[in-house]
Structure 1
Amino acid sequence: QPLRASTLRDTTNQADLLIIAADPLLASLDPLIAAREAQGLSARAISLGEIYDEFGQGQTSPTSITNFLRYTQENWADPAPRYLLLVGDGTYDYRNHLGTRPRYHLPSPLVEVTHSGETVSDAHMADTDGDFYPNLAVGRWPVDSPTAVAQLVERTLAYEQTPADGRSLFTADGTSPEFTGMADYLIENSGLSPDQTIKLYGATSEEVATEWNTGAWLVSYVGHGSLDLWGKDNVFNLDAISLLDQSTNTAAPLVLQFTCLTGFFAHPEQVSISEQLIQSEDGPVLLVAATSLTLSSQQQPFARDLILNLQNPEYERVGDALQAAKQKLNLDLNFGLREINDTFGLIGDPSALIVRPSNEQ
């Protein structure tokens, strides 16, 4: 097909928020761009195909996206882009051998990890200077239709306009004191109000859903995990998502999953619990989850700092809180912390405003 004229190399370009999506998804993003600009951010939606043509010689590769992001950091007008929203589903079956590749596939690079060989890492794609930290706060909407994009735009903006519940809900896998101990540590060291913190350890999916529906601004899980569940004993699973009911007059919670694989959006034949949650009408619009297996001892400092940051008004948007928590990781200390940095990511819009409880609650 003929190449289109591109202005992506124009050095007068400037944007705080970059949104990358396939052409058929771009129009659905217009209300989000308008809302962000009304909040004072400059925002721009970029055609994925244009990036491939201009920065990858037509190659449909995550390297093409990194090349583009590097160009914006080094050559676009200041301030350089701070937030990156990737709109599109992923798969590790790039060549579509299984015939299940998403229509609007947006790739993510593979990185080597200790416990599961290779996995996808959007954070690695946003590392434009080679220091292993992402240069932009990155999030993904792993959806594959204009309708699904429009729904997430509407739900994200509605979240920002809805007051937060004052409670925090901490769930943990009850099969090991390692997990309940980490959850206790996070409650005690993250500045949360003890009388507004609910502990639910070793619970059933139904019990978790009941407390969730009662209201919480933050839901945290610590323990074993897989693509489709929290905990060896089904602390929460795909079937339980249908039990969620966001009919309270408070915002859906931020969901933090300090576990393994629940954010793995690139399986060609399975849907992760994070993907299912964010696409549920009564689910959250902001989730932190991992695409790999990591150790809870290495997750703990990151988890503590992230929860502290989410409460700190210095960090207005969720991407700011996530970036600051990652910047505190000493990647030279051990390879495991680098894996935390690479594989824990945001399912959601990194430019979303954090909805916190009011001081009166």
Structure 2
Amino acid sequence: SLRLTYPRQYRAEGDTLRFTAEGDKAVRAIGFTTPNVRVVDITDPLNVSEVAVTVEPMRDIEGEGYAVIVAPGGRDLTRTLYAYAAAGAARVEAANANQPSGWHESREADFVIVTHGSFREATGPLAARRTAEGLKTEVVDIEDLYDEFSAGAHTPQAVKDFLAWTAQNWARAPRYVLLVGDGSYDPRDYTARGAFDLVPAKLLDTTYMETASDNWYADFDGDGLSEMAVGRLPVRTAAEAAIVLSKITGHEPGGEQAAALMVADRKGADGYDFETATTQVQNLLPAAFSVQRVNRGAQGAEAVRAQIVNGINSGPSIVNWMGHGSVGVWTGEGLLRGEDAARLTNGSRLPLFVMMTCLNGYYQDPSLESLSESLLKAGQGGALAVWTSTGMTEPEGQAAMNRELFGALFGGTGPLRLGEAMQRARTATSDADVRRTWVLIGDPTTRVR
């Protein structure tokens, strides 16, 4: 880095000036547009104090405006001062009383819901339902974690440290974690697109890009495999939370058809055969399942889109896509798009969407809505949950994980909750980017059958 030091006049810009003053000398700063100027001593950031000053009109040679005069502060002391127009001072929008928490205390839980305070009440029915199913459930306000685990700082590390603490110190550590609230790559809203880092997104570097990893929160040994099953509901408003949580609490396993919609992209320039890979996954479905197969092949985008939308509206229990994609679409031609989600009419027959593609789970952009979010938030149907990626990865690792997921969901001695099945699926690939970038946009305690 480069630090550039240069002399400048004691002249305010935008009615503010940060400057130093030798202790035994008075300082005269000019360029203020108002006589209502305040000066604070910020030499010690932990002991800020206001400084008495004199304000007078600027001299003719200096131009129009006002000057502030700071008296000497004592010998052998260089002070750092900040002068500003009183009208420009930021005002506190609101102050809320803190409710003391005790998450460092030993507890027992199978399921932890970490929520932004705006959605705490909305999570109540889900917590009650899972408790009735035998899962000991705790609901945690994200602000409490900042207070207890990061000295009040807004950081994803507070959530990870909390979960690590439960793993080491609680009498029974949680197996499932649900994050309720959107995350953003711009937590301070520098881009003025909205303060949507409600439950922080953790950004990691991958081979092709920086992106979010919810798996990171419970990956305590850094192998890309989380020790707890993590899901997220990336909602921004109470209305969105109500829609999504009502879908989850209203879901009864087996309420959809024993059916699958299997959609495959055509072979692209990279030569990967998505149709063959989809067939390998399809062969893992139970014999009783009916299957609608849609191959993009040489068909036009509108024809394929119509088949996909009609297939979703028929209410299958699972929709599987293997192919290329971006944040809000399947392929560049938009075989399924974010705007299609709002027009779906599958009602309460809500499938699990498995999207083996790139970027469909990119929830952290404050100016965009990913396809997974659009499907989860759709009011007349859409998705029960979506498993997909926030990043860009290679198809071989995706396909291996896809096969293992179907084996976990539909094979074995009994049905697993989504979080368990997805934890198992990650073990099928050694591709670190695939392991870290796949996210469950949904509740990890949900069962699909």
Q: Normalization by structure 1: what TM-score?
A: 0.90
Distance 1:108 1:199 in 2: 35
Task: Give RMSD over aligned pairs.
Answer: 1.9
- State the shift of 1:172 in Å: 1.5
Task: Choose which of 295, 300, 321 in structure 1 pairs with 2:399.
Answer: 300
Determine which structure has greater relative contact order: mean sequence separation of CA pairs < 8 Å that are 6+ residues apart, divided by chain length.
1
Can you give the 5+ residue segments of structure 2 that lack an aligned partner in the other structure? 1-94, 297-302
* Structure number with higher strand proportion: 2
> In the alignment, which residue of structure 2 is the partner of 1:338?
432
CA contact (8 A) 1:122 1:345 kept: yes
Residue of structure 2 in register with 1:359 after alignment: none
Tell me which of 119, 125, 146 is aligned to 2:217: 125
TM-score of the superposition, structure 2-length normalised? 0.73
What is residue 173 of structure 1 aligned with on the other side? 265
**Aligned twin of 2:207:** 114
Q: Which residue of 2 aligns with 1:262?
A: 360
Mapped partners of 2:288, 2:243: distance in 1: 35
Query: For the residues of structure 2 that align with 1:352 and 1:134, how far apart are their CA atoms?
Result: 18
What residue is the counterpart of 2:111 in the other structure?
Answer: 17
Residue 32 (structure 2) aligns with:
none
**What letter is aligned with 1:181?**
T
Indicate the structure with greater helix content. Answer: 1
Map 1:146-295 → 2, pairs under 5 A: 146-160=238-252, 163-176=255-268, 178-188=273-283, 190-193=284-287, 196-202=290-296, 204-247=304-347, 251-281=349-379, 282-295=381-394
Gaps of 5+ in 1: 332-336, 356-361
**How big is each residue's C-alpha offset from its partner over 1:198-235, in whole Å with a ceiling of 9 and x where there is no partner?**
21011522221012212311100010000010023321
> Would the aligned equivalents of 2:262 and 2:320 in 1 still touch at CA under 8 Å?
yes
Moved over 6 A (4+): none
Letter in 2 for 1:139: G
Q: Offset at 1:195?
A: 6.9
Quick check: 1:102–1:144 contact (8 Å CA) kept in 2? Answer: no
Amino acid at match of 2:242: A
Q: Which amino acid aligns with 2:433?
A: E
Q: How big is the shift at 1:128?
A: 2.4
SS in 2 for 1:167: strand
Pair 171,291 (structure 1): closer, same or farther in 2 beyond 3 Å: same
User: Any conservation in 1 of the 2:189–2:195 contact (CA below 8 Å)?
Assistant: no
The one-letter amino acid paired with 1:205 is: R
Offset of residue 294 of structure 1: 0.7
Q: How many residues align?
A: 343
Q: Please list the CA deviations of residues 91-125 of structure 1 after superposition, one character each: whole Å capped at 9, or x if unmatched.
A: 1112211122345621121111112x211100012
Q: Is 1:327 aligned to residue 421 of structure 2?
A: no
Superposed CA deviations along residues 5-34 of structure 1, whole A, max 9, x for unmatched, are 2210111x1111111112221111111111
- Give the match for residue 139 of structure 1: 231
Deviates more, 1:169-178 or 1:132-141: 169-178
In structure 2, what residue type is equivalent to 1:187? Q
1:73-107 C-alpha deviation (Å, 9 max, x unpaired): 100112x1000100111111122111223456211
